Amino acid sequence: MPEGDSIFRAAAMLRGALADRTLRFAWLRDRGPMSRWIGRKVQAVDSLGKHLLVTIEPDAVLRVHLGMHGRWRLHPPEQAFPAPGPQLSVVLATENATAVCRRAMQVELVRAGDPRLRERLAQLGPDLLAETIDWTAVLTRARSAEPRAIAETLLDQRVAAGIGNVYKSEVLFLAGVHPFTPTANLDDATLLRIYERARELMRANLGPGPRTTTTLRSPGVRRPVSTSRAWVYRRHGLPCLRCRTPIERALQGDMARSTYWCPRCQPDGAAGSKRAVTGM
């Protein structure tokens, strides 16, 4: 599932293949072949939370949000361009490689400096993978957000950008916080610790290989003997890797996203109602 670390890695991959190189082919889902881009340079490839931004001279900015199912892949330059289809979102080709995006949730083309783009990006909280973080801004945004459970606050990109459903469950397990705890019930130190740990988890997954959260040391939480790459995510009904209590799962928030937790390691301090579900 693409989250902040996935987009950061995708941007790094695309930057190496596209940045400062001349386009020889381009295709966008809603516009078809972009013949006017042929011969133009890709000036930059950046990530901001879950958004990937490709800047093409002289002033075009392509914003891609992968959503839950989108993926970027690189192909050799000699490989034939993929045929348009319902899953194809973006194709950008240089003499070096062909970048193909499929199943993206959003593909938006605007001019650099377009107020719509500025407004959309300005709504985002601090990017947790940025070199420096304004933690005061994160706390202020979390406190000013609508009253809700901490797991829902973590998914709010207006508070801090980058956390998705996987890290939501994993960071709350490592913090020992029940996911249905009202955000207002957490003190600043605890809230800050949760966001700092989310940043730490994502930064630990910027290298090659599959995402894992169980290799990061945490006070009082030993590395599991099993080969599981997650402490609780998608482990409903399986024993907790620390205390062996069965992991629980519930649907949470307006979008009914799955949340996983250990009822013993993350005790419910009158956290509120939850709707348990079966299956994965």
Closest by CA position to 8, among listed 206, 258, 246: 206
From the candidates 41, 50, 84, 182, give the one annotated as an active-site residue. Answer: 50
Closest by CA position to 63, among listed 109, 130, 125, 11: 109
Question: Is 50 considered catalytic here?
Answer: yes
Structure tokens at 82: 């993929």
Question: Is 82 considered catalytic here?
Answer: no
Task: Say how many Å lie between the first and final Cα of the chain, rounded.
Answer: 15
From the candidates 2, 168, 179, 274, give the one annotated as an active-site residue. Answer: 2
Question: Is 200 considered catalytic here?
Answer: no
User: Tokens 């080709």 label which residue?
Assistant: 93
Contact at 8 Å (CB) between 55 and 42? yes
DSSP string, 90-140: EEEEESS-EEEEES-SEEEEEETT-HHHHHHHHTS--BTTSSS--HHHHHH
Bond prior to 58 in cis (omega within 30° of 0): yes
Residue burial 55-80, b: 16+ Cβ < 10 Å; e: rest? bbeeebbbbbbbeeebebebbeeeee
Q: What's the CA angle centered on 173, arms 172 and 175, to 5 degrees?
A: 60
User: Tokens 């956290």 label which residue?
Assistant: 271
From the candidates 3, 152, 170, 248, give the one annotated as an active-site residue. Answer: 3
> Which residues belong to the active site?
2-3, 50
